[in-house]
Amino acid sequence: MSDNADDDYNYFELKYLEEINELFIGFREKNQYLGINLFCHRDDDFMDLFDMIYENIEILKDEDEINENELNEEENNSML
């Protein structure tokens, strides 16, 4: 992974890890009641769900963050 991809993954993990774990627990509880066989194997854990969600989303940068990054790049380029 590139540095930018690592940063995105770390950002996503910090922001959504707890919510995805709660979602995973909810799936397990519903699975027992409905028999849907979702994340029901002994070796399944919430990181499987976390990785699946991360791989299927697009991280959109906040406009303020984009502007800040552009300003930093311009500042760095002006120093050269």
Enumerate long-range contacts of 48-53, CB under 8 Å, 24 or more apart.
Answer: 49/20, 49/23, 49/24, 50/13, 50/16, 50/17, 50/20, 50/21, 53/16, 53/20
pLDDT band at 8 (very low <50, low <70, confident <90, very high): confident
What is the rounded (10 degree) CA torsion for 23, 25, 29, 30? 20
pLDDT higher than threshold 80 for residue 60:
no
pLDDT band at 70 (very low <50, low <70, confident <90, very high): low
> pTM of the entire structure?
0.63
On the question of pLDDT at 37 being above 60, the answer is yes
